[in-house]
Each structure stands twice: as C-alpha cells, then as structure tokens.
Chains A and B, each alone.
Chain A
C-alpha cells in the first residue's frame, strides 16, 4: 500500500523558514517523480514543485521560485520541501504526491497533507 505521510508543517512568522518532509513507502521511490501541491484554506489546488526520480531535475512554480527548494533522499525514501522567506500567501495545506508510472505530471497518490500557517 502506498503511503505518503507529510510532516513539518506549523505556524511560522513572515520571513521565516520551514522544512516539510514526506516519508514514502509501498513503492519503488527512486523510480517515480514526486510533486508538492498546496491548497490555501477554502481554495483550489496549486502546483508548487516537482522533482525527477533521480533528483537531478526540478521544476518550480513562479510563485515559489527562488524561495522554495525541493529535494529527495532516495536512500531514505524521503521527499523534502525547504521553504524560506515565507509569506502570508504561502499559508496552505501542502500535499506530497507520487507521479504515475514514468510521468511527471499525473499525481497518482497523495498524502494527507500538512498545514503551514504564515502569520505574525
């Protein structure tokens, strides 16, 4: 069974940093691209960032480019999102998602999400 529990969310002040983690299990982690998607309270889904199975290629939404860094540790089956210079508009539930088969952009399984609140 695929499991993608996220952790690391919480309350942070504007300008602060957080590191989100996603502990993958139930599949061959290194064979799949992984993605972070966020959802602001009461709003729709927004793609944040994706990383290839090897970790050698990454993509970012313009809204987070230069502030967020996606990474993975295939030896630990772990996905990360380092979030710096956080803003109020980054407040959201952050989901990690597994790419379907060899594709990047079809999000086959999702974690339950971790809430990030940016507020003073």
Chain B
C-alpha cells in the first residue's frame, strides 16, 4: 500500500500568516491526491482534489500543487476558521490511504 507522510505534525501560526503543509507518498500517485479539512467534532470536508483543484465553495486562499510523490497545500493568509486538521489522501491504487494529518493551531 502507498504510505502518505504528512509534515509537520503540528503547525503553530497566527491569523494572517501563511501555512504550508506537506504530503509525501511512498511511491508515485500521479496527480491523484486530495486534501481534507477536519474541525473538532465535524466530518472531514474536501478542500482540494486531483492535486491542485479547489473543491466547491473553497476560498481562493487555499492552493495546492505537486505530482508524483511530493505535494503541498498552502493557505495564503490564515483565517480563524482555517485552524483545523488537514489530511491528504490518494486514489491512485487500492487501498485508498490517508496521511496522518497536520494540525494547524493558533499560536
């Protein structure tokens, strides 16, 4: 199975700052990578699909890039509602797997 490694585990930032999250795959997943946001007590929400496409309703401050094994999610200027855990997930082959998550917390 493909292992997704996210870094850092925790990112402590202030509102208005830029957040850069990383996801590395143990083998190529092409562009078949998604990012999800999860807030406490809530279901995950799709943020990015196929490496760089924003999902419906996701603001433009969220952007993502990458292909193959290295991917990045960037939040250009953190809003209070962006503090959450972010997971990457691939759909390249079965089984689908998720990364361990990056918690973006308020500094």
Contacts and interface: CB of A to CB of B under 8 A. Distances in A.
Contact of A106 (B38, B46, B95, B101): B46
B100 A44 contact: yes
Interface string B34-62: 10101000111110011000010000000
A103 B33 CA distance: 12
Interface string A101-113: 0011111111111
A61 B1 CA distance: 10
Interface stretch (B10-18, B74-82, B86-94): B86-94
Interface residues of B, number: 24
Interface centre among A35, A47, A103, A105 (most CB of B within 10 A): A105
Contact of A108 (B46, B90, B98, B101): B46
Nearest to A47: B96
Prevailing SS type, chain B contact patch: loop
Contact of B49 (A35, A37, A100, A111): A100
11 contacts: A35-B96, A37-B44, A44-B100, A44-B101, A47-B97, A100-B46, A100-B49, A103-B91, A105-B96, A107-B89, A110-B45
Nearest to B1: A62
Interface residues of A, number: 23
B43 A95 contact: yes
Contacts of B99: 44
A57 to B, nearest CB: 11
Contact of B95 (A44, A47, A112): A47
B43 A61 contact: no
Given A105-B32, A106-B46, A45 B89 contact: yes
Given A45-B101, A108-B55, 6 more contacts: A37-B44, A44-B87, A44-B100, A47-B98, A105-B32, A105-B89
Interface string A37-70: 1000000111100100000000101100000000
B46 A44 contact: no
A28 B58 CA distance: 23
Nearest to A104: B91
